[in-house]
Structure 1
Amino acid sequence: MTPKEKALGNVPEAQRWVGASINALNAVIGFNGRRSEIANLSQFKALQTHFHVELGPAPSTLDQLLSLLPFVDEADPTLRILIEIRFRYFDILSALGKASSAFTDAPAGGGDEDTGMAPAFVPQKRDGTFRITPYYLSIGALSQVHCLVHESAHFVSDAFQDFAYRDRSGAESDDPDKYKKLPVQFAIRNADSYAYFALQMAKGIDRILSRDE
């Protein structure tokens, strides 16, 4: 079995993870209880962990009225962020739907790109391909699916970066707690945030994976 064939076989499970993430976001966005009760939802707690979203104060009465008018964004800043994250998961789902034409086998190390031991990658210059390397076959089943969600975020747009382990110049970061400390504006563009939230929503696992999982 080639790396591409293995990855294609994992696409349905990756889609299930993304679907679980969308369902979780729907549960929070559509919650009809008291605002203060949202903080106790397991889905919202996970959103805080991976995207660093805070509930914040309720919008003012004026903002609530303005939000009923056309061409005005939702008044609630937390809601805007959650809707933005949900849109991005729909984009990731769409990217996974293109797997049969986008996935391609790539040499170890990335060939013309320095990708180290990456099991898969999207070229820095987006060309519509999602490249699977031989290393993909050496990582565990959960890591394989996690990798597909992560790289699908990169496939969507180069706005998605690896902010959790790189600094703003692109250099490797040596801060092991950077994932926990990302400002929300970076967390919602961090590919790993989408992959790890999806892992937690689909499998109930809230931790960093080792390569053999």
Structure 2
Amino acid sequence: MCQSEISEAAKLGLNSLDPLVREAHLMAHDYVDYVIAGGPDSSSLGHAPTACTAALRHAGDELLTRFPIFFRRWPRIFQDVTEDTACSMLTSILDDHFCPATPGGRRRELAWSAVLSVYVLGGQMAMHCHERGMARVLPQLKECLGSYVERVICPDIRDKGGWSGFKTRFGKKQDLEGHVKTVCYWTLLLLATSSITYFLWKKMT
């Protein structure tokens, strides 16, 4: 991400002394950069900077792959967005869809899937703006998304004990084949090391 494009408010979030808040803003910036760069098809960003950002990238890719029909309606909703209205529209949509109040006036408990949806929706808005020549609004969208998570969602995340649940829920899990390959790799490495050690010992004796 280009530091010259980051406003003072965004810098405060990215440099917050509260690790929970700092992670929320970093996830917003990294995910927007990730989807704009092409997602899993791009190597320009390199590895995700933290376990949470890695989990967000992975889960966002899976969500878009497994449920593409859910995202086909967003371009129609975003069609009238401008650089001046992008952030306010994003906030309004997030409030309407992800933070509804219960009949008693209390906000329902926020699930990790809803947290993921907040970031994915922000990424979809950013892609829409980028594809329509409104790239100048991207830094504001990153700031808006990070600030929204900090203000609305972080209190719930703090009650859940932090971001560890997000990493557990959405982190890339090693499949059985990968596990077998890893075991085989270390077994072969151990055998090779033992063979070399034995060979050197025989030569010395």
TM-score, normalised relative to structure 1: 0.27
- Relative CO higher for 1 or 2, CA cutoff 8 Å, sep ≥ 6? 2
TM-score, normalised relative to structure 2: 0.28
When Rg is computed on C-alpha atoms for both structures, the one with the higher figure is 2
Indicate the structure with greater helix content: 2
